[in-house]
Structure 1
Amino acid sequence: MRQHYLALLSVFASLPAMALTFQTRLENIEWKVAGDKFECRLTQPITDFGSGEFVRQAGEQATFRLKAYNGSLGVGSATLLAAAAPWQPGRGDINLGAVQVGSGDVLFNSSQAQAGRLFNGLLEGRSPVVRHYGRDGGFSEVRLLPVKFNKAYSDYQQCTAKLLPMNFEQIKQAEVGFSGAGIELDAAAKKKLSVMLEFIKADPTVNHIQLDGHSDNSGNRLTNRDLSRRRGLAVMDFLKANGIPESQITLRFHGERYPLVPNTSSANRARNRRVNIHLERVPAPEKPAPQAVAPNDTAATS
């Protein structure tokens, strides 16, 4: 009996570990491109799982992520591959490193480098694969297929060509500098402000701009305070001339009170002659709910 039991265990041990693969049938493969000036997405829906998608934000390179309806892949470290197609004999899979799979709708976001290599793999006919190994040696994997990719990638590139040069996190704080005792905006300052204006006009949720004028300590305090005010006004006038309502701009001026660096050299003083610009997304005030009027109420007259 014991020998029979050991033999049975040996048979089970020799069986291959279970593998569970999520992928869409070849005839149902589609790539979807969507986006605007802020973000572009290239997505392949995955049957009974969710989707795999490349996402590129304005001002950044793309990342790759998995979105899921359920937690079938398993939580923990998984391997990201650019897998060779069966019709590509002699080509091995390319291991792109680990990704950390979590729970929720978005399971992980790859690095930008990993996403770039996945793009290259897809153009060569490779499949993005995310493989999670279980304790029993089996694994679950999600596989995207390169079918119809080239046309979709061309449409995606057209979308990315229209992205703004920067996103909100990159642009929400900036500064422009001034030379000597000057109050004029130079070409570099106008270029930086023009990039900010392009974003503000594209994103109506950005509806407040805080300006803070500063100076170095070269003059007396009153002169420096006035210089910081006039520098702030120069920025405000540029914004107003380019369509920003004055009601959306707040100006403060501080003179030499808040240096970025000690005023101990000409280079440091140059850094302290500046206007700091901070963009804010201020929620619009809620409109008061209309008050109910009883049917027999009448307006008072005088």
Structure 2
Amino acid sequence: MLISTSKSLFSSLIISTRNTSNLFIGKNVRLRNYHNKFPLAGIKVTVLKEPFNSQLIPKLFENFGAEITIFCDTSNIKKQSIDLNLTNSDFVKAEVFGTKVTPKKYIEAGEREIDLSVDGDLNVLKKYAIKSDIFINLENKRFGEIGFNPEEIIKLNPKLIFANISNFNQTNSKFVFVKENMNEEYLELLHQNSKTLFTLGEISCFTKILLTLFNKQNSGKGQILNLSISDSLLHLNRLTSPLLLSIPNAFDRFYLTKDKKVFSLCLPTINDQQKFLKNLNLTNSKEMSAKIAEFDLSELNMFLKGSLCVCIC
């Protein structure tokens, strides 16, 4: 469905170089070949990421035929000479829950290592951004924090789409703990339902970039996008069921459990909310976050047996 939608979005808007004999082409117009199988062929996408960031969004662009350049920023990695043969899970535990160390392999095949604390590397990234159609930032930081001003870059390339994709909640307070840098290795530790939810949020962000690209074909103007995976999930959740509009925040959000798993909770009925509080030995929801952190995921799932627990999965 996504593939067919993308084809219909771009097939009528892209000028094929095979049919330009009767067209006036300005000196600043860049033509690209259009292929039914690869609707994004000729689109240049530059991606900035950190080691082990999720690869889903770059892979989607690549599968649709876009020309992908991926820079992996290692400036936040504390390099040590010991324990370089950590397993992925060991690295995650060290990275997310303890001392940072560098695993033996942190640059994937096809990626270019970059250190944004070095001016020369930052200038290289800016040059690529100026020549791109889409720039995607998957780092767990804002552009301003890395000395990268999107407004200045767009002045040099007015057609550029800047997409800052974060796990931070930007318009709500329902995803309090999702301020950790979510990555592929961390996803392996998640509960399956939460993993599905996170992936759905990524696909939603990808679709928003596609729609912006579609709009650019008409307007010729670029745009700065501040996208949040957690906000995308909340929006999709609301569209799924109008009943969710009335759920208190405490009963419609993610929690971190005692065994470091992600627990996605959504209890739409008052009876189920009261039953869940009773199982936690609570009289109100003010201390729910701290109380849930005292239980393993398996125990919490037992508390929800017989309840109407709504999840997008």
| TM-score, normalised relative to structure 2 | 0.22
| TM-score, normalised relative to structure 1 | 0.23
User: Which structure has the larger Rg over C-alpha atoms?
Assistant: 1
Q: Choose between structure 1 and 2: higher helix proportion.
A: 2
